[in-house]
Amino acid sequence: MLSTANLSLEQAPPISIPLRFFLSAPLFGLAAGLLLLLGGGEVFASRWSAPALALTHLLTLGVLAMVMCGAMLQMLPVVAGSPVPRVVLSGGLVHLLLLVGVPALAGAFLTGDALWMAAALLALGAAFTLFVLVVGIALWRVTLPSHTVGGMRAALAALLVTLCIGGYLAGGMVGAWGVADPLLWTGLHLNWGLLGWVGLLLVGVSYQVLPMFQVTPEYPLWMRRFWAGGGFVCLSLWLLLGLAAERVGLPAWLPGLPLWLLGLGYLLFFVVTLRLLARRRRRILNPSLLFWYLGIALAVAALLLFAGGGWLPDAASATGSPLLMGVLLLGSALSFVNGMLYRIVPFLSWFHLQHRQLALLNMSVILPNMKELLPDRWANLQFYAYLAAVFAALPAPFAPESVSRLCGLLVCLSFLLLLSNLLRVAVRYRATLARLHAPIPS
Amino acid sequence: MTAIAETLTIDHRRCDDIFADAEAAVAKSDWQHGDPVFKEFSQALEHHFEMEESVLFPGFEERTGQTMGPTQMMRQEHIQMRALLGEMGQAVALRDRERYLGLAETLMMIMQQHNMKEEQILYRMIDQAFGDEALGLVERMREI
């Protein structure tokens, strides 16, 4: 029996849906930079400081989740053949709720006000519940799931776990209930978010996009088949063992074991990725690839820090080391997302323009191609600004007073350049669209 | 059950390889090599389109009765890619390196998202629809 009912190739959302996510993201990056610029050393004083929590969530939710949600709504029809139900309505709502919820959450951390936190929980809870629901429906409708779809399913499930733990912690902060061991739960929250939702999505999408766009050999079959599921199992075991250790006596090394396995798995994934990239047929170095290499370098550094954490001096590991780990992981994830934007935004703009052109049969207008929509030199400039921001952030956990403001300035610069690059594409898109619709001179 | 998907996926990769060679040559402004390799790529891609448009898609449409479905979408994207190929040919004739590389990047994106849809969805559907008879379809495509 042939099941074609849910197989459709033409239900990509209108371009305004992904673009509104992509254009909003740099604004939150800019807000994070401003917070760093104004807050100075206080932000890096401790991972528990109010500005540190606000900054982290501006970046994870305002930038990372914003872009990842927009990209998934866009990509599902292409990579899975399964469009998101009611994508205009659901995508519009998710975006709006994030736009309200993220500033509310940052405000809640900065002011400690329970009302702000309640508003944030409501908006973000609604945003992600809706997102998980519609994307979940699309993903589980796929009848012949590819390895990428498998990775996406695992990532989405990890997002759900991250949100539940986040909500539980937030409830504890406003006194709705007591959280017995906030250190444990915070660790669970951020690892499920970064190593689960972000990491598993990266892995799943890489299986498909890296070999295709860089013309490399395929990822090994065993990796495609087992990695994402294995990663999810490691995270789940870590959660269960961590909670069990509170109640029953377990050997001290046991609860951390799954996390070590996961770390090894990621290391293996990045080594394989680098080997594939070394064998790529497309030898041209483009801005997206620079962001990829930076993302991999920072992730590998984070894994090495994790492995070597036990040998760091006590004074450093008490405050600086976890913060450095945060800088490396966030810097890595933001790098991948930033690089992807330079592929997807110019391409979507060109694609929709050409589609219009063929529909209107107005061949007198010459369409700008991707590199004319966004010249490499502008993307490269932003890459170097981002690289400088990362370099300034690396020593910040150990010398917060001296480099925090500089780092804030560079973060602002990097996201301003990203915003202006994306706006440049959007402006050229609109101008070309207007020319396409103008009457053809006879 | 995977004869069509395998055959055409291999052909996609063959086109990708020639594309990468042409792009690398143009990036070095080596037109002496770039010009003929681009023509080879152009022919390889056109041959691939031809196999799909004259054998595969009509076969699928006849069997399932879906003429306005996914195959129509794929044909539309072939038109989009052909337009880019034409522009790239002009850039080669004018020895315009920047324009060629911008167009090549754009073609690569549309080509790969197109290939994803075919490899992940359409070819599997067609293999399913034809079952054991898929090999016959592959034979007919080989004759082109």
Q: Quickly tell me which residue has 């107005």 as its tokens.
A: A362
**pLDDT at position A175 over 70:** yes
pLDDT digit string, tens, across residues B39-79: 999 999 999 999 999 999 999 999 988 887 889 889 989 99
pLDDT, chain A, mean:
90
**pLDDT at position A242 over 90:** no
- Residue A38: inside a domain, yes or no? yes
A191's tokens = 């690892």
* Cβ-Cβ contacts under 8 Å, A4 against chain B: 64, 66, 69, 125
Nearest Cα of chain A lies from the Cα of B73 at a distance, in angstroms, of 7
- pLDDT at residue A119 in the model: 95
- pLDDT at residue A181 in the model: 85
Task: Name which of A27-41, A303-317, A411-425 the model is least confident about.
Answer: A303-317
CB-nearest partner of B17 from A4, A8, A215:
A215
- Residue A3: inside a domain, yes or no? no
- Residue A437: inside a domain, yes or no? no
- pLDDT at residue A315 in the model: 44
A33's tokens = 């930079």
- pLDDT at residue A6 in the model: 36
A94's tokens = 């998710």
A386's tokens = 């981002």
**pLDDT at position A188 over 80:** yes
For B72, residues 6+ apart whose C-beta sits below 8 A from its C-beta are: none
Sign of CA dihedral B114, B119, B123, B128: negative
The C-alpha atoms of residue A112 and residue A106 are separated, in whole angstroms, by 10
**pLDDT at position A2 over 50:** no
The C-alpha atoms of residue A207 and residue A219 are separated, in whole angstroms, by 6
Could you tell me the pLDDT band of residue A400, with boundaries at 50, 70 and 90?
confident
Asked if A44 contacts A396 with a C-beta cutoff of 8 angstroms, the reply is: yes
Task: Name which of A46-50, A207-211, A285-289 the model is least confident about.
Answer: A46-50
> Of the ranges A82-86, A336-340, B130-134, which is most confident?
A336-340
A147's tokens = 């390895």
**Contact with chain A for residue B66, Cβ under 8 A:** yes
- pLDDT at residue A376 in the model: 94
Mean pLDDT for the stretch of residues A271-281: 94
* Cβ-Cβ contacts under 8 Å, B123 against chain A: none
**pLDDT at position A1 over 50:** no
Asked if A69 contacts A102 with a C-beta cutoff of 8 angstroms, the reply is: no
CB contact under 8 A, B121 and A215: no
Burial B63-83 (b: 16+ CB within 10 A, else e): ebebeebbbebbeebbebbeb
- pLDDT at residue A319 in the model: 64
A376's tokens = 């490499």
Contact pairs from chain A to chain B, CB under 8 Å: 95
CB contact under 8 A, A144 and B102: no
B 92-131 residues with CB < 8 A to A: 98-99, 101-103, 105-106, 108-110, 112-113, 115-117, 120-122, 124-125, 128-129
**Contact with chain A for residue B29, Cβ under 8 A:** no
The C-alpha atoms of residue A107 and residue A115 are separated, in whole angstroms, by 10
The C-alpha atoms of residue A209 and residue A100 are separated, in whole angstroms, by 32
Nearest CA in chain B to A76: B117
CB-nearest partner of B16 from A7, A208, A215:
A215
The C-alpha atoms of residue A118 and residue A142 are separated, in whole angstroms, by 36
Sign of CA dihedral A48, A52, A58, A61: negative
The C-alpha atoms of residue A75 and residue A18 are separated, in whole angstroms, by 10
The C-alpha atoms of residue B83 and residue A439 are separated, in whole angstroms, by 22
Sign of CA dihedral A83, A287, A30, A171: positive
Quick one: what percent of chain A has pLDDT higher than 90?
Answer: 69
**pLDDT at position A7 over 50:** no
Could you tell me the pLDDT band of residue A10, with boundaries at 50, 70 and 90?
low
CB contact under 8 A, A2 and B113: no
The C-alpha atoms of residue A190 and residue A192 are separated, in whole angstroms, by 6
pLDDT digit string, tens, across residues B130-141: 988 899 999 999
Residue among A420, A434, A418, A421 at smallest CA distance from A353: A434
pLDDT digit string, tens, across residues B80-115: 999 999 999 999 999 999 999 999 999 998 999 899
Q: Quickly tell me which residue has 């330079």 as its tokens.
A: A342
Which 8-state DSSP code applies to residue B131? G
CATH superfamily label, B3-142 = nmb1532 protein domain like (1.20.120.520)
Burial A164-201 (b: 16+ CB within 10 A, else e): ebbbeebbeebeeeebeeeebbbbbbbbbbbbbbbbbb
- pLDDT at residue A316 in the model: 45
Could you tell me the pLDDT band of residue A214, with boundaries at 50, 70 and 90?
confident
- H helices of A279-399, in order, are 287-308, 314-315, 321-360, 370-373, 376-393
Could you tell me the pLDDT band of residue A183, with boundaries at 50, 70 and 90?
confident
- H helices of chain B, in order, are 3-27, 31-51, 57-64, 70-93, 97-117, 123-130, 134-142
A350's tokens = 């060109």
Could you tell me the pLDDT band of residue A361, with boundaries at 50, 70 and 90?
confident
- Residue A133: inside a domain, yes or no? yes
Which 8-state DSSP code applies to residue A389? H
CB contact under 8 A, B76 and A4: no
Which of B112, B115, B118, B124 should we substitute to test contact with A (largest number of A Cβ atoms within 10 Å)?
A: B112
**pLDDT at position A398 over 90:** no
- pLDDT at residue A295 in the model: 98
Instruction: Report CA A196 to chain centroid distance, whole Å.
Output: 11
- Supply the CATH number for residue A376's domain: 1.20.210.10
A358's tokens = 């063929």
- Residue A144: inside a domain, yes or no? yes
CB-nearest partner of A350 from B70, B106, B115:
B106
- Residue A2: inside a domain, yes or no? no
Domain borders along chain B are 3-142
Q: How many distinct structural domains can be found in chain A?
A: 1
Residue among A419, A87, A340 at smallest CA distance from B109: A340
* Cβ-Cβ contacts under 8 Å, B122 against chain A: 9
Instruction: Report CA B14 to chain centroid distance, whole Å.
Output: 10
CB contact under 8 A, A369 and B24: no
For A188, the domain range is: 16-432
CB contact under 8 A, B112 and A213: yes
Quick one: what percent of chain B has pLDDT higher than 70?
Answer: 99
Asked if A227 contacts A262 with a C-beta cutoff of 8 angstroms, the reply is: no
pLDDT digit string, tens, across residues B20-42: 999 999 999 999 999 999 999 99
pLDDT digit string, tens, across residues A149-169: 999 999 999 999 999 999 999
**pLDDT at position A12 over 90:** no
